Amino acid sequence: MIGRALQYTFLLLATLFFLLPVYLVVVTAFKEPSAISLSTTWQLPDRWYWESFAQAWNAFLPKLQNSFFLTVTATLLSAVLGSLNGYVLAKWRFPGANIVFPLMLFGMFIPYQAVLIPLFQFVRDIGLGGSLWGLILVHVVYGLPITTLIFRNYYAEIPDELVEAARIDGAGFFGIYRRIVLPLSLPGFVVVIIWQFTQIWNEFLFAVTLVSSPANQPITVALAQLAGGEAVKWNLPMAGALLAALPTLLVYIFLGRYFIRGLLAGSVKG
């Protein structure tokens, strides 16, 4: 009995810890700027004020569009490449694969500060400096290790006999991929797309260094700048934070199962 009581007390306290910031964001976002004061932080708004969202929406709409374009394009490209790579590594193992694969994987753990200077110069030199396409290229390349890893592990579950049988029937490399592997790939694609979508949407370092022109900024950079400015009242950053969080939050709420699978794939067992 005492055990049960302890268990629920702990769970409720933890829930409070996790949800208090959410409560604060929501009540702050709905307050009139003049009604926000530090001493009344935790009180509900006297009047629910929607104007902040309209303002944040207007200010952030172009940045949200940038983020959507960037995230969707880079996610799809890296998912397709990851699927093909995973197929090769899982079903056509070649000598040296045991060396190449870890070398690929290392790429997803490096601190990007160790490549940032040449990367910045490279993107500028090929004429993509400051544009979203430069950022897309970078996200596709550094996304390859994780997408390849997830697909490789996923395809390892497809029985080799199935591949062998298709070969005997005369199917080649691409035939096997199209007729056997691809039709079984949907769950793999869901995991990879959700993972990459979340990662790229939330990314900041590349966005803040590689995209110089404000017109091309993704949402994370715009939000950091807005919240970092001292003059702004807090209703706007809070409404902006909610807008910036919404896409990944919705993905998490509706497809949480796949999100967790991606989460675990990044750490457990290559």
Enumerate residues 165-184 that contact other proteins by CB under 8 A.
167, 172-174
Under rule CB under 8 A, residue 216 binds other proteins? no
Under rule CB under 8 A, residue 232 binds other proteins? no
Under rule CB under 8 A, residue 57 binds other proteins? no
Under rule CB under 8 A, residue 56 binds other proteins? no
To other proteins, the closest distance from the beta carbon of 163 in angstroms equals 9
To other proteins, the closest distance from the beta carbon of 215 in angstroms equals 19
- What is the distance between the alpha carbons of residues 13 and 42, in angstroms, rounded to a whole number? 18
- What is the distance between the alpha carbons of residues 114 and 111, in angstroms, rounded to a whole number? 6
Residues 113-142 vs other proteins: string with x where CB under 8 A? Answer: xxxxxxx--x---------------x--xx
Helix (H) / strand (E) containing 21? helix 2-29
To other proteins, the closest distance from the beta carbon of 58 in angstroms equals 19
Task: Say how many residues touch other proteins, by CB under 8 A.
Answer: 96
Q: Which two tokens stand for residue 170?
A: 């005369």
Burial class (CB within 10 angstroms; exposed 0-12, middle 13-18, buried 19+) of 25 = middle
- What is the distance between the alpha carbons of residues 270 and 267, in angstroms, rounded to a whole number? 8
To other proteins, the closest distance from the beta carbon of 48 in angstroms equals 19
Dihedral (CA of 212, 214, 219, 224) sign: positive
Cβ neighbours of residue 214 closer than 8 Å, sequence gap 6 or more? none
| DSSP 8-state secondary structure symbol assigned to residue 126 | T
Residues 72-91 that bind other proteins (CB under 8 A): 81, 84-85, 87-89
Q: With beta carbons less than 8 A apart as the criterion, state whether 112 and 206 touch.
A: yes
Residues 4-43 that bind other proteins (CB under 8 A): 7-8, 10-11, 14-15, 17-21, 24-25, 28, 37-39, 41-42
To other proteins, the closest distance from the beta carbon of 14 in angstroms equals 6
- What is the distance between the alpha carbons of residues 22 and 195, in angstroms, rounded to a whole number? 23
* C-alpha distances in Å from residue 3, one per residue of 6, 7, 8, 11, 126: 5, 6, 9, 12, 63
Q: Which two tokens stand for residue 103?
A: 């070398």
Under rule CB under 8 A, residue 144 binds other proteins? yes
Single residue of 101, 154, 189, 258 touching other proteins by CB under 8 A: 101
Under rule CB under 8 A, residue 2 binds other proteins? no
Under rule CB under 8 A, residue 159 binds other proteins? no
Instruction: Find the distance separating the first CA and the last CA of the chain, reported in whole Å.
Output: 42
To other proteins, the closest distance from the beta carbon of 89 in angstroms equals 7
Residues 249-268 that bind other proteins (CB under 8 A): 249, 251-253, 256, 259-260, 263-264, 266-268
